[in-house]
């Protein structure tokens, strides 16, 4: 069952910042927007969903999987694109994607070749597969990030502020790609850009100061802004 249940999740940091305060959300398959300004708690929630950080309280279930307990189970079906991911500038796209595919457990050579080729084509990076990542534009880097995140056909896809720094054309291209590739998965996209959620998300939540202010369909929210 491809539904994410977040219940009463709270998190404070040792410095006293209450980054998440009693967050509850039910997120179905499709693209879901988490909209909020800088410091709202988006990355804190995304890291929690990606099993990288434990909340102080609350529960999270992906279908029947207890995300906070069965971390290995979640990781098998998780694609996570963090906000700032560093990639070695001298690595070449195809080579690196091959490497990540091995890490994901796709060990059989022919299967791996097919998966890597399909992902490079879907993300429109096939023609530059032999090039070094250091020469990639922001948009190319983010699309490459999606290719990595999509390895192993994840059903839970967490993408943290992926459009920050992209020009408008690249932004739209990136969102379309994400929406196509994540069609049958739960895709959570965090952003501070209203247009990111209004264009392709089927549902959205607004977060500020660690609290959910509303949970709705994007069109309704934007009429009320």
Residue ranges in contact with ligand ADP by CB under 6 A: 13, 15, 17, 19, 36, 38-44, 83
- Characterize the bridge pairing of strands 57-62 and 3-12: antiparallel
DSSP code, position 132: B
Minimum CB–partner distance for residue 187 and ligand ADP (Å): 17
Minimum CB–partner distance for residue 167 and ligand ADP (Å): 20
Burial class (CB in 10 A: 0-12, 13-18, 19+), 100: middle
Comparison of 43 and 123: residue with beta carbon closer to ligand ADP: 43
Comparison of 86 and 105: residue with beta carbon closer to ligand ADP: 86
Please list, in sequence order, all residues whose beta carbon lies within 8 angstroms of the beta carbon of residue 1, skipping any fewer than 6 positions away.
63, 64
Comparison of 15 and 224: residue with beta carbon closer to ligand ADP: 15
- CB-based contact 106:152 (threshold 8 Å): yes
Minimum CB–partner distance for residue 50 and ligand ADP (Å): 12
- Characterize the bridge pairing of strands 203-208 and 186-191: unpaired
Comparison of 115 and 197: residue with beta carbon closer to ligand ADP: 197
Nearest-angstrom CA–CA distance, 60 and 48? 9
Minimum CB–partner distance for residue 13 and ligand ADP (Å): 3
Minimum CB–partner distance for residue 77 and ligand ADP (Å): 23
Give the residue among 55, 64, 31, 45 at the shortest CA–CA distance from 163.
31
Helix or strand (DSSP H, E) at 224: helix 218-224
Comparison of 17 and 194: residue with beta carbon closer to ligand ADP: 17
């Amino acid at each position: 069952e491809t539904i994410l249940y977040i219940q009463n999740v709270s998190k404070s940091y040792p410095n006293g910042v209450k980054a998440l305060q009693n967050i509850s959300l039910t997120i179905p398959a499709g693209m879901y927007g988490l909209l909020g300004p800088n410091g709202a708690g988006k990355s804190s929630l995304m890291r929690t969903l990606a099993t990288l950080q434990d909340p102080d309280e609350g529960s999270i279930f992906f279908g029947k999987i207890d995300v906070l307990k069965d971390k290995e189970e979640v990781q098998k079906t998780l694609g996570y694109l963090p906000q700032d991911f560093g990639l070695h500038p001298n690595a070449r796209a195809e080579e690196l994607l091959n490497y990540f595919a091995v890490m994901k457990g796709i060990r059989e050579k022919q299967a791996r070749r097919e998966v890597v080729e399909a992902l490079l084509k879907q993300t429109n990076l096939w023609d530059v597969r032999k090039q070094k990542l250091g020469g990639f534009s922001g948009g190319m880097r983010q699309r490459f990030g999606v290719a990595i995140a999509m390895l192993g056909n994840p059903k839970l896809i967490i993408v943290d502020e992926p459009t920050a720094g992209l020009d408008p054309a690249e932004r739209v291209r990136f969102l379309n790609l994400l929406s196509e590739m994540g069609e049958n998965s739960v895709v959570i996209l965090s952003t501070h850009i209203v247009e990111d959620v209004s264009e392709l998300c089927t549902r959205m939540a607004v977060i500020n100061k660690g609290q959910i202010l509303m949970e709705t369909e994007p069109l309704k929210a934007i009429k009320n802004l």
